[in-house]
Chain A
């Protein structure tokens, strides 16, 4: 049976993993390859590296990071952050990424998804969506995407949550998968960092709306939250960043917990 995936996410700034806890056996907590190997040994099913480098001059350092990690760790590797073109995606894939996540640039130009999927196949293209709950249907400029449905509950935000858009999240999920996104990485900006659990309502409406796998992101704080996202939230995979990075929970603990509660997981 297909297992549910547990995915640690690492933020990379200028080629270095943003400071986390110093795990035993890790000499350099900022070394992406060393952390990747650590998570791999812990049973991570996949890794996501998010480039948060502010300066575009330093983007090429991310290519070196991907090159190095993919030469040492042989599990699927997704890279995101600042991907704006087919060429950006090609560079990452050639460096050894298996999937590349697009976010803000795809909202600005949905054609990017189609172009990348045509060039590399849908399995390479992950749409990262940052989502906020809205109280009222958004009234704004809908030229590009048509009207937001009256029942809209969830809105896409971009640029790390700083910029709201007039885009309904469910509609965007459908449009993006029709254009060729092979997987969705859905982050609730409301839940992110709160440690009160994933937004399972958001996850399940997105999951019901599309036929591609959904990765839950934002809000994990305890073991049960992962279970809830995979059952109530109908997600196919669960992602967490700081929880793992600061050693509050181990990937291995999450996997044992899920296995105990009857969720199929991969034993390492």
Chain B
């Protein structure tokens, strides 16, 4: 990094989800110096932010509401700066979820539905819910047209998923990647600067770390 360039301020929003620490470690691994915080005022001076999440969507929404983070997250999303949302962090971007009572942030039109159970896969095995493990991810469109967060990742790479609910965006164009689990799983959503992954890039080995590298590059471009 050139001497005069500034380290980007990357804020990891601590919604008390169990994967906050993993996200922090992945960012450190790619050379970022993340700030993990529950204080929404930190977003004002952030170059980029991550909204992690595991567990139940209501738990994440309750945390966002009680920490008074919802409005600052929406403002941040509108600022055009990179916002990466992971797993339940992605699901709470939607209007509503079958999993919970609380409305989502409404940043992406659509809803979140329970993955149907009782299906069998190509081997004749029962498909369990949660969808847990490494699944093949297909990115939409040509690599040159992909959201910059997904550059340099081979088509068909495997990513690690753990979830029982799936995102169903109203706009097909906002689905950046899919996986197949009997039904189509929306693996990633991209709406300009707001990108969400249903899988856990911080637990998906090298291809996952590539997403954090891309995120850091985008954050660094903001910091200049």
Q: Describe B's contact surface by its main secondary structure.
A: mixed
Which of B18, B28, B59, B160 is the one whose CB lies under 8 Å from A76?
Answer: B160
Enumerate B37-74 residues with CB–CB distance to A below 8 Å: 54-56, 59
Give bound CA distance, A263 to B12, whole Å: 38
**Known contacts A1-B180, A2-B133, A263-B123, A98 near B128 by CB under 8 Å:** no
A1-28 interface code vs B (CB 8 A; 1 in, 0 out):
1111100000000000000000000000
Query: Would you give the shortest CB distance from A76 to chain B, in whole angstroms?
Result: 5
Which of B122, B130, B133, B163 is the one whose CB lies under 8 Å from A45?
Answer: B133
**Known contacts A94-B21, A213-B133, A74 near B128 by CB under 8 Å:** no
**Known contacts A211-B128, A211-B129, A234-B125, A2 near B204 by CB under 8 Å:** no
Residue total for A at the interface (Cβ-Cβ under 8 A) = 40
Decide: A3 and B205 in contact? CB cutoff 8 A. no
Which of B136, B161, B204, B205 counts the most chain A CB atoms within 10 A? B205
Give bound CA distance, A72 to B162, whole Å: 21
Across the interface, name the chain B residue whose C-beta is closest to A231.
B123
Decide: B131 and A2 in contact? CB cutoff 8 A. yes
Give bound CA distance, A263 to B130, whole Å: 20
Across the interface, name the chain A residue whose C-beta is closest to B185.
A2
**Known contacts A2-B133, A2-B135, A121-B18, A236 near B29 by CB under 8 Å:** no
Decide: B55 and A74 in contact? CB cutoff 8 A. no
Decide: A121 and B133 in contact? CB cutoff 8 A. no
Residue total for B at the interface (Cβ-Cβ under 8 A) = 42
Decide: A75 and B128 in contact? CB cutoff 8 A. no
**Residues of B with Cβ closer than 8 Å to A?**
18-19, 21-22, 25-26, 28-29, 54-56, 59, 117, 121-123, 125-136, 158, 160-163, 180-181, 202-206, 208-209
Across the interface, name the chain B residue whose C-beta is closest to A263.
B123
Query: Would you give the shortest CB distance from A28 to chain B, in whole angstroms?
Result: 21
CB contacts (< 8 Å) of B162 on chain A: these are: 123
CB contacts (< 8 Å) of A72 on chain B: these are: 29
Give bound CA distance, A33 to B133, whole Å: 22
Decide: B117 and A124 in contact? CB cutoff 8 A. no
Give bound CA distance, A207 to B26, whole Å: 33
**Known contacts A1-B122, A2-B181, A211-B129, A75 near B160 by CB under 8 Å:** yes
Which of A76, A124, A263 counts the most chain B CB atoms within 10 A? A76
